[in-house]
Amino acid sequence: MTQLTEKTVAVVKGLIMDGVAKANSGHPGGAMSSADYATILFSEFLNFNPDDSKWFNRDRFILSAGHESMLQYSLLHLSGFLSMDDLKAFRQLSSLTPGHPEVHLTPGVEATTGPLGQGFAMSVGFAAAEAYLREKLGSDVMDHYTYVLASDGDIQEPIALGAASLAGLWKLGKIVAFYDSNKIQLAGPCCKVDCTNHKEIFEGLCWHVIEVDGHNHDEIRAAIKAGQLETEKPTLIIGHTTMAKGAATLEGSHKTHGEPMKADEIAATKKKLGLPAEDFHVPADVVDAFRARFDGLRETAAAWQNGVDAKLADAAFAEMWGHVTRPRPELDIAWPEFTPGESMATRKAWGTCLDAVMDSLPTLVGGSADLDPSNQTMNFRNTYGDFGVDGYGARNLAVGVREFPMAAIMNGMQLHGGLLPFGATFLTFSDYCRNAIRMSALQELPVLYVFTHDSFWVGEDGPTHQPIEHVSSLRLIPDLIDLRPADANETKACLDLALKHETKPSAIFLTRQGLPILDPAEYPAVTDGPAKGGYVLKDCEGTPDLILIASGSEVSLALETAKLFKRKVRVVSMPSAKLFDEQPDSYKNAVLPPDVTARAAAEAGRTDYWYKYVGLGGVVLGIDHFGASAPGKVLSDKYGFTPENFARMIREKY
């Protein structure tokens, strides 16, 4: 067994070197230093279905050190999920083996990783989802480990420590993380940038910490078993390793971190490892030994499915299982009614919607980054308790002032499957979340981001809390649905869109200040119009002389401005520019007729974005400077967000 394991590790290292060399691009050094641990994990411990990479109760393995992707691809080849041709196409166009793991491309890959630290944080989301579903479905249905392989760079990213603090607080004992501490990074030795005692740090974060020789197979096995047995704390295995372990002359060299090895170094290394000179060598005995567990794994998966089928006879279980497995477009959501004419902040409308649907959506989990009253999630928190602290059946994620970890954890929960995650904070703090939001879009994850306090109307808190560029900036992220509703009715329509979408994340931008609730009897399109992003809210007879376009709080401003003209005016509400742009030209031209060039737009944010709709010579009422500390109404007057000023700007142009 020991000799065959050593041989398997050597074969994996050979595949790593060959794949990177053939692509002439990649990171062989870290992958080789992690090879002992990962090979043992995959061949001896990882519970999965060899015939179904998406089996629901599989152990999850997250390669947070995404630059070590050739290691994972080599193990997925031995697992039967990737072909040899796939390995040879490493980093090539349209291959299943891209430069960093991508979840929607490669079977067996659980998360798209590359931006360091986020894989580690996502693993906390995976484990949190497992714990919640285990509580709701039973440990005979949901009971798996979340394994993560992290590098020095992962642990240096502050997001990792933020997420680790929550994992410790929540007692996520089914996380087993391996920290490949090879003490080398791209620019040189880690001692040049870090003096951290990671054992003491993680123990202080309520983790179970084990230190091992990361190349000693017996120590690795013992550490994984100890991590599995520790149920009250997540486990960090610090594996002290050597960069490019086994290389002929480059062991410990930072040059192997991000550069292919030369042909003579590869040849000498293969000889040292006892491998033949041929490229991509995988002997039959290694494959057979690696797959020796597969019949047992298949039996485990089949028994699990039989158990689930039997439990479906229980009505309560069947109902919850339906919530866990139901496709999002099939969600049946009963949204609340709102009273036309009343004034309500759209953040309050969100809170009202959340309160109305939370009982009927038991897989809806989430919370606020220490802003529960402001984000209108306090009732949700009081009703269902704080996850981990109040038990694993609690649904509120109390993440504290940790916006970036919150966003990445939501990604992990969505990747795990079975839940509808959301997270809330002030819009100005979306900058802290931004790279995780980008990863939501990149991974095709329909996570809901709730951003309140969406403009200078925040008022007295001043420019640090008043978003200016944020909505326009977030619209630049491909495949992120922007939702800035005009009132309570548009808010529930936007939330319905977000929760029922299958592949795209949504960011909803909500006001602090009250807005008039539009009457569906007077504005019937307010109910269904948001689904197309932009729609005619109020029209005129015949072809309009002037089109006013607005989003969010400026829609009511546009309606009031329209009353100041004797000309024929059309008012277009555009809660989602992204969704509007996706509509066919016939629809867009019907809403914004090309022949009607007299156009004006209003949004309490950057003006740049709106010229695509009004033309370079059009009128845009916006704000391209930082705000000030003063009541919102005072700032509204100062910055010209009044019907009179908007009308003046339009008259001066048209």
Q: Is 461 marked as a binding-site residue?
A: yes
Q: Is 592 marked as a binding-site residue?
A: no
- Listed residue (411, 435, 429, 418) closest to 375, CA to CA: 429
Cα separation, 332 vs 322, in Å, equals 12
Structure tokens, 13: 């290292």
Q: Is 115 marked as a binding-site residue?
A: yes
- Listed residue (175, 178, 184) closest to 219, CA to CA: 178
What is the pairing mode between strands 599-602 and 619-621?
A: parallel
Q: Is 166 marked as a binding-site residue?
A: no
Q: Is 585 marked as a binding-site residue?
A: no
Catalytic residues: 403
Q: Is 382 marked as a binding-site residue?
A: no
- Listed residue (64, 83, 63) closest to 19, CA to CA: 83
Backbone angles phi, psi at 237, to 5 degrees: -100, 110
Largest CA distance in the chain: 89
User: 3-class DSSP state for residue 166?
Assistant: helix
CB atoms within 10 A of CB 225: 12
Q: Is 34 marked as a binding-site residue?
A: no
- Bin 133: left if φ > 0, else alpha if -120 < ψ < 50, else beta: alpha
Structure tokens, 282: 């995988």
Report yes or no: 353 and 333 within 8 Å, Cβ to Cβ.
Answer: no
Cα separation, 27 vs 536, in Å, equals 53
Q: Is 454 marked as a binding-site residue?
A: no
Structure tokens, 222: 């013992």
- Report the number of secondary-structure helices (H) and strands (E) in the chain: 29, 19
User: 3-class DSSP state for residue 198?
Assistant: helix
Q: Is 617 marked as a binding-site residue?
A: no
Structure tokens, 441: 């879009």
- Torsion over CA: 422, 423, 427, 429 (sign): negative
Q: Is 632 marked as a binding-site residue?
A: no
Q: Is 254 marked as a binding-site residue?
A: no
- Torsion over CA: 385, 386, 390, 392 (sign): positive
- Listed residue (141, 135, 127) closest to 55, CA to CA: 141
Q: Is 144 marked as a binding-site residue?
A: no
Q: Give the Å distances, CA to CA, from 162 to 82, 165, 202, 399.
A: 34, 5, 11, 9
Report yes or no: 438 and 477 within 8 Å, Cβ to Cβ.
Answer: yes
Q: Is 58 marked as a binding-site residue?
A: no
Q: Is 67 marked as a binding-site residue?
A: yes
CA 573 to chain centre: 29
- Listed residue (540, 533, 539, 549) closest to 598, CA to CA: 549
- Given strand 208-213, what is the order of strands in its sheet? 60-63, 146-151, 175-181, 235-240, 208-213
Report yes or no: 119 and 163 within 8 Å, Cβ to Cβ.
Answer: no
Q: Give the Å distances, CA to CA, from 528 to 277, 450, 643.
A: 65, 21, 27
Binding-site positions? 27, 67, 114-116, 152-153, 182, 184, 257, 347, 374, 429, 453, 461, 465, 512
Binding site per annotation, positions for substrate = 27, 257, 347, 374, 453, 461, 465, 512
Residues marked as binding for Mg(2+)?
A: 152, 182, 184
Q: Which residues are annotated as a binding site for thiamine diphosphate?
A: 67, 114-116, 153, 182, 257, 429
